[in-house]
Amino acid sequence: MKLMTCPINGTRPISEFAYWGEIRPAPDADTCSDDQWAEYVFHRNGAPGVKKEWWCHTPSNTWFIAERDTEKDKVLRTYLHGDDK
Amino acid sequence: MKRLPAMPDEWLDRSRTVRFRFEGRSFEGLAGDSIASALWAAGQRSQGRSFKYHRVRGILSAANHDVNVMMQDGPKLNTRGDVVAVREGMDLTAVNTFGGLANDKARHLNKLSRFLPVGFYYKAFHNKRLFPLWEKMFRRITGLGVVDFSTPHIRTQKRYDFCDVLVIGAGPSGLAAALSAAEAGASVVVCDENARAGGSGLFQLGADGARRQHTVSLLQQVKAHPRIRLLEGTYAGAYYADRWVPLIDENRMTKMRAKSVIVASGAYEQPSVFRNNDLPGIMNGSAMQRLIYRYAVKPCNTAVVLAANADGYRVALDLLAAGAAVAAVLDMRASVPASPLADALRAKGVEILAGHAVYEAHADGKGELAGVTACRIDGSGRVVSGSQRRISCDGVAMSTGWSPAANLLYQAGTRMRFDDLLQQFVPEQLPEGVFACGKVNGVFRLESRITDGQRAGLAAAANAGFEVSGSITVPAETESPSHAWPVVAHPDGKNFVDFDEDLQVKDFENAVQEGYDNIELLKRFSTVGMGPSQGKHSNMTALRILARLTGKSPQQVGTTTARPFFHPVPLSHLAGRGFSPQRHSPLHGRHAALGAVFMQAGAWERPEYYAVPGKSRIDCIREEARRVRTAVALIDVGTLGKLEIRGPQAGEFLNRVYTGRYDNMKVGATRYAVMCDESGVLSDEGVVARVADDVFYFTTTSSGAATVYRELSRLNIEWKLDCGLINLTGSYSAMNLAGPASRKVLAQLTDMDLSSAAFPYLAVRSGTVAGIPARMMRVGFVGEWGYEIHVPAEYGATLWDALMKAGESSGIGPFGVEAQRLLRLEKGHLIVSQDTDGLTNPFEVGMDWAVKLDKPFFTGKRSLQIVRKMPLKRKLVGFRLGENHSGEVPKECHLIIQDGDIAGRVTSISWSPHVGRFIGLAFVLPSMSETGTAFQIRLTDGSMVNAEVCDTPFFDPKDERQKEIE
Amino acid sequence: MNAPFAPTRISPLFDEQAPHAAKWTQVETMQTVASFGSADAARLPLAGIGDLSFRRRAGVKGPGAAAWLNALGIATPERMNSWLRMDDGTLVLRLGNTEYLVEDMPGGGRTAQMSATAPTHGVYPVPRYDAALIVAGRNALELTRQTCAFDFTTLSPAAQGLAMTSMVGVGITAVAMESGGETYYRLWCDGTYGGYLWATLVEVASDLGGGAVGLESLGRLAQQ
């Protein structure tokens, strides 16, 4: 089973985590067109590559960001929101 | 008897005889024998029948790389006779026979083989009408054992384990790798599928006593090393992500996580291909060596050795040392390389014939080996006609090549390349943390395997974080261990490639001719490699044949995907002990004592209703509901999600996550709350109570509690509002005291002012009830005067007891989930995910009033603005059936049909004693949503039921029950 | 309705333990099993499951939590995911970065002090209802191997680390402690899952020669 490293709790099997999805920039909800908003709400990028994603370590309710190469099935790094210097 | 004198590394305990039965006859073996070795020692060479043609079979690999000797042991199926230890009292039968092994009635299928070519079943049984007949036949004649349905369910103690370096295979290279890694400081686990470690280091000897010393010494050091755990009789079942390997032994499965994995699994000897190569007595050279050195069994009296490598020459020397005669060594290579092994054989008078092969094997009256016809072959492997020569023998050792046991390397994602010198696939690109050594890595010389193991061990330790120094180079192999074309053509066929599936060379020719010329297609059409041994003894040869037939190189042909498990894993091991988390409210024991019938609601167990002797379920539910409406009753609502948010921006936070406004609530008020996701779909609902300026206490649905808390936590990481979120779902107990007498009951337990002036409908108050600090809300879910009381969970049962006692004189009783669902339905309240689905927006269910689009932001706002501009596709309405409806009653999800098309569906429906009719909620087309509209509901059998739209609430539409009773 | 009385605290494990309990006692106004029977003492050295749910606990989290606790005289661990024991025996767990669980010894008053003190800015009280278990005996590690994918050998009593992980499908907080030279484990989980966790661990423990152990047989383990 795949491993994931929580920045606070360490490396654990992926069954201890919940996957939220890719972090995608949202258009300005007040000014964008209906089409742009629908695209943001319903479309997802399926192309392989390195994606920034929200993940949660559920036993501790720790949310963090993982950069994951979906082509190579490798997690490159994980960090708390705001720590990606 | 064919038992040899004691061998130095034999597995036998000669002091213990084992009596067992095979095919109805009694046999005797020694403790430590495999079933096959005990039978072989007793002269029983016919040990099974093949799958398709029911040909007699004997030992082939003696290593569980084939299922020639698959047996049934009482109710135990899938018993691999060539590796399973014989046990006192065993009662064994060969599988797949009709009337026993000796007189198998299906043996005549062998003569019909012309009519059963490869893939015949794809063509022969297509007639739909006749198929049930064929199916009956298949079920009778196929299958590898008979299931005993009274077999007890066995669960085993599945477990986890951890180490720095896992070494798979305890042969010379694996043992060397383990020692190197352990010396570098790593904690090491070495596993080996065999009963005893040592691998081929203890049987590929060529009668050279010194040769085994290398392995004996390594094994001694491994057993003595404090950082190494040696697990014999344990195989690695598969490779899963990030170095997770299930280790399977007789009793259970261990899920091992390693920092580094070294695959030292060796190689599978591939049987040579010639006519009748499956007669009992013909086996792999390494099978003969296993018989000699592990079980002290003489494989035969007179052998012909078919060789193409040094291993074959060692087999010949081992046979001579065991007292067998070697009639000839037929070397398929054009010339025999000079070697001390060849010299030793010649010195013992053994004839070595280069450029020779076995043309065909001959059977005696029992169908067992009696002799072979040898022949010369030319440079391309073609038989030189007229060169045939008969040799009498009762054993043939096949030693023409190997295939790496690379299953786990493939599963790990290793890229392999075909090495022309070695004539085998070797690892080219290994994934991080995965290492290979020994034969599976293309290293065959014994000394080199040990060096290769040391190299891998150091690399694995380094990968696990230990400091290592120095570098090791392994000398290249100079001799090929595998022949490129170990196949001899014969016009009459029966030259087998896959012994599990009875596939001969011409089957591959036919398959390619039919167009199945790609390895994946060839596999599926011919079924090569799909038998119980999953291609261990056949895949490489099949690949060579396909390459030659299509003019490609083996590299181009490629391999099929190796999938878990390496050997079949018993269901008892996979089942382990099942863990299904069960969540109980603090009041669970009280419910059980009151006769609750429980239902599963997610991980929670909740009382569906409380059973009363002599009363039916539906009557109990109706009585519970009646008690709520006429007296007083108590329900446990502790499964609700309960969250608290505190801080200066708590109200702002709630504004953003719910569709309504909460920062303008008065302290002491409650307000209904609806949550939508980003697409504007209803995702959860609850009640928000403002208990202080900067403290809000709010509820979610039971099933939404965990996800809502998690998601709200994430949102605040993004928004960084000045507030904190606390999950009280498990630490608070909640119960709803409801009914006209509820205030009277509660007043006995508290000093709080319960007048409707001081504690109005929808207010929240804090106080003490029965001495317990409590938060109470007057809510309207069931439509009666009532109090939802929240207390710390450790006092929940105490409070329940106090309320039940105080309510005795008012006729209090408990009510469960079903009664509550009926009561809320009478009030027209929806339940999220019962009356809504994955696409429902608030406008479809009449919740426009709850959506404050004038707020600057809330989750789903923009989507709802877009949706509001579009015409509604459906509306949730109340409905009722006819006044005296009789006959079947529609259920949730029955469809509403109008003009022959789907116009909606029922979401809730129930008999209402208070309304006197069946009532419900349903989605209908907006054009049908006017009160009084008649429509039809379609039952499962197609008949229609009449209904009409009506207003909600069905009961007490003006909420009079919440007003002060004067 | 003026009678002040200390209402009975009901253990999250009560329903699960009641059918097997031989003798009860009351600690901190919570009924606790004193003994499950004569086998208790023999179970502990092999694989004993003990129950300390009766101890009083209080939680707090937020950016101001550590300072708030310190101002009350409650020490807080320096490292994330670690624990300390104060001189009076009070146990303080630092859960992750900014959350704390404080557990009183019987008779202790720290948690009452926390409940009685108003939280200040950035301080969020976390009410708790834990099932608090002990897993002890020479087969304790093997028991964790059969129930949890986390390697308990990485928790050492000396390092005083803490792990939040999942055991038999339930979220737990785990620490390793030492008594008489042997390592044992303390686990906390949400009380609503407590009965299930208790029953499951007792079943696994009985496979390993042990089982449920009442308070009377816990000895030193109940005193620290």
The answer, for A18 touching chain B at a CB cutoff of 8 Å, is: yes
Q: From the candidates C61, C94, C98, C166, which should be mutated to test the interface with A, based on the most A CB atoms within 10 A?
A: C166
Residue B155, pLDDT score: 85
Overall number of domains in chain A = 1
Overall number of domains in chain B = 6
For residue B581, the chain C residues in CB contact (below 8 A) are 168-170, 193, 196
Residue B470, pLDDT score: 85
Residues B170 and B241 both lie in one domain: yes
CATH code of residue B929: 2.40.30.110
CB contact under 8 Å between A9 and C172, yes or no, is no
Asked whether the predicted pLDDT for residue C3 surpasses 50, the reply is no
Of B622, B679, B568, B526, give the one whose Cα is nearest residue B825. B622
What does the alpha-carbon distance between residue B493 and residue B937 come to, in Å, rounded to a whole number? 68
Q: From the candidates B636, B731, B744, B769, which should be mutated to test the interface with C, based on the most C CB atoms within 10 A?
A: B731
CATH code of residue B489: 1.10.10.1100
Residues C134 and C208 both lie in one domain: yes
CA of C5 vs chain B CAs: smallest distance (Å): 6
Residue B311, pLDDT score: 97
Residues C120 and C140 both lie in one domain: no
Of B373, B333, B323, B327, give the one whose Cα is nearest residue B351. B327
Interaxial angle between packed helices B340-347 and B310-321, expressed in degrees from 0 to 180 and rounded to the nearest 10? 30
Overall number of domains in chain C = 2
Residue of A nearest to B859 (CA): A29
Say if B576 falls within a structural domain: no
Residues C50 and C159 both lie in one domain: yes
The chains in contact with chain B, meaning 3 or more Cβ pairs closer than 8 Å, are A, C
Last residue in a domain, options C126, C144, C169: C126
For residue C30, the chain B residues in CB contact (below 8 A) are 794
Largest CA distance in chain C: 54
What does the alpha-carbon distance between residue B22 and residue B86 come to, in Å, rounded to a whole number? 11
- Give me B165's structure tokens: 């370096």
Please answer whether residues B18 and B41 qualify as being in contact, where contact means their C-beta atoms are separated by less than 8 angstroms: no
Residue B134, pLDDT score: 86
Residues C122 and C154 both lie in one domain: no
Residues C133 and C212 both lie in one domain: yes
Of C132, C119, C111, C106, give the one whose Cα is nearest residue C13. C132
Residue B231, pLDDT score: 98
The Cβ of residue B225 has, within 10 Å, a number of other Cβ atoms equal to 16
Which residue range(s) make up the domain with B119? 1-152
Which residue ranges in chain B fall short of pLDDT 50?
Answer: none
Residues B112 and B13 both lie in one domain: yes
Residues C93 and C162 both lie in one domain: no
CA of B601 vs chain C CAs: smallest distance (Å): 14
For residue B240, the chain A residues in CB contact (below 8 A) are 1
Residues 161-190 of C with CB under 8 A from A: 163-166, 171-172
Backbone CA torsion sign across A68, A70, A71, A75:
positive
Say if C33 falls within a structural domain: no
Largest CA distance in chain A: 44
* pTM of the predicted protein model: 0.94
Please answer whether residues B292 and B315 qualify as being in contact, where contact means their C-beta atoms are separated by less than 8 angstroms: no
Of C155, C136, C128, give the one whose Cα is nearest residue C205. C136
Residue of B nearest to A65 (CA): B714
**At a CB cut-off of 8 Å and minimum separation 6, what does B612 contact?**
B595, B620, B623
For residue C196, the chain B residues in CB contact (below 8 A) are 581-584
CATH code of residue C67: 3.30.70
**At a CB cut-off of 8 Å and minimum separation 6, what does B564 contact?**
B237, B238, B240, B246, B411
CA of A70 vs chain C CAs: smallest distance (Å): 25
CB contact under 8 Å between C166 and A60, yes or no, is no
Per the listing, tokens 């996800």 go with B707
Residues C116 and C201 both lie in one domain: no
Which residue range(s) make up the domain with A17? 3-79
Residue B379's identity, in one-letter code, is: G
- Give me B293's structure tokens: 């050195």
Residues C211 and C142 both lie in one domain: yes
Asked whether the predicted pLDDT for residue C188 surpasses 80, the reply is yes
Give CA angle at B330 (B328, B336), nearest 5°. Answer: 115
CATH code of residue A74: 3.30.2270.10
The Cβ of residue B922 has, within 10 Å, a number of other Cβ atoms equal to 29
Q: Cis omega before residue B444 (within 30°)? A: no
- Give me B184's structure tokens: 């570098």
Of B894, B944, B945, give the one whose Cα is nearest residue B921. B894
Residues C109 and C210 both lie in one domain: no
CA atoms within 13 A on the CB side of B742: 33
Last residue in a domain, options C97, C126, C155: C126
Please answer whether residues B579 and B586 qualify as being in contact, where contact means their C-beta atoms are separated by less than 8 angstroms: no
For residue A15, the chain C residues in CB contact (below 8 A) are 149, 166
CATH code of residue C49: 3.30.1360.120
Asked whether the predicted pLDDT for residue C6 surpasses 70, the reply is no
> Shortest CB distance from B710 goes to which of A1, A30, A56?
A56
Residue C2, pLDDT score: 39
Per the listing, tokens 């994955």 go with B838
For residue C192, the chain B residues in CB contact (below 8 A) are 583-586, 604, 638, 729-730, 793
Asked whether the predicted pLDDT for residue C1 surpasses 70, the reply is no
For B605-654, give the DSSP string. EEEEEE--TT--HHHHHHHHHHHHHHS-EEEE-TTSEEEEEESTTHHHHH
Residues C101 and C148 both lie in one domain: no
Say if A52 falls within a structural domain: yes
Residues B262 and B196 both lie in one domain: yes
Say if B624 falls within a structural domain: no
Backbone CA torsion sign across B882, B887, B891, B896:
negative
Say if A24 falls within a structural domain: yes
What torsion, rounded to 10 degrees, do the Cα atoms B868, B873, B879, B881 define?
Answer: 180
Largest CA distance in chain B: 121
For residue A11, the chain B residues in CB contact (below 8 A) are none
Last residue in a domain, options C68, C100, C126: C126
CA atoms within 13 A on the CB side of B243: 26
* Percent of chain C residues topping a pLDDT of 70: 97
For residue C167, the chain A residues in CB contact (below 8 A) are none
Per the listing, tokens 């608090």 go with C132
Q: How far, in Å, are A59, B20, B242, B827, C85 from residue A12 at the CA level?
A: 11, 49, 11, 48, 27
Residues B31 and B135 both lie in one domain: yes
- Give me B827's structure tokens: 């009030």
Cβ burial, residue B78 (10 Å; 0-12/13-18/19+): middle
What does the alpha-carbon distance between residue B603 and residue C107 come to, in Å, rounded to a whole number? 35
Residues C64 and C107 both lie in one domain: yes
The alpha-carbon radius of gyration of chain A (Å, integer) is 15
Please answer whether residues B197 and B266 qualify as being in contact, where contact means their C-beta atoms are separated by less than 8 angstroms: no
Which residue range(s) make up the domain with C95? 57-126
Last residue in a domain, options B677, B697, B728: B728
ipTM associated with this complex: 0.98
Last residue in a domain, options B123, B152, B181: B152
The chains in contact with chain A, meaning 3 or more Cβ pairs closer than 8 Å, are B, C
CA of B310 vs chain C CAs: smallest distance (Å): 46
Q: What is the pLDDT of residues A36-67, one digit of tens each?
A: 999 999 999 999 999 999 999 999 999 999 99
Per the listing, tokens 């600090």 go with B773
CB contact under 8 Å between A63 and B242, yes or no, is no
For residue B800, the chain C residues in CB contact (below 8 A) are none
Residues B287 and B422 both lie in one domain: no
Q: How far, in Å, are B222, B450, B470, B562, C28 from residue B167 at the CA level?
A: 12, 14, 21, 20, 53
Residue B272's identity, in one-letter code, is: S
CA atoms within 13 A on the CB side of B319: 32
Please answer whether residues B609 and B620 qualify as being in contact, where contact means their C-beta atoms are separated by less than 8 angstroms: yes
Last residue in a domain, options B674, B709, B728: B728
Cβ burial, residue B720 (10 Å; 0-12/13-18/19+): exposed
The answer, for A1 touching chain B at a CB cutoff of 8 Å, is: yes
For B35-55, give the DSSP string. HHHHHHHTT----EE-TTT--
Residue B125, pLDDT score: 81
The chains in contact with chain C, meaning 3 or more Cβ pairs closer than 8 Å, are A, B
Residue B780, pLDDT score: 82
- Give me B110's structure tokens: 């062998």
Asked whether the predicted pLDDT for residue C5 surpasses 60, the reply is no
What does the alpha-carbon distance between residue B760 and residue B754 come to, in Å, rounded to a whole number? 8
Residues C205 and C151 both lie in one domain: yes
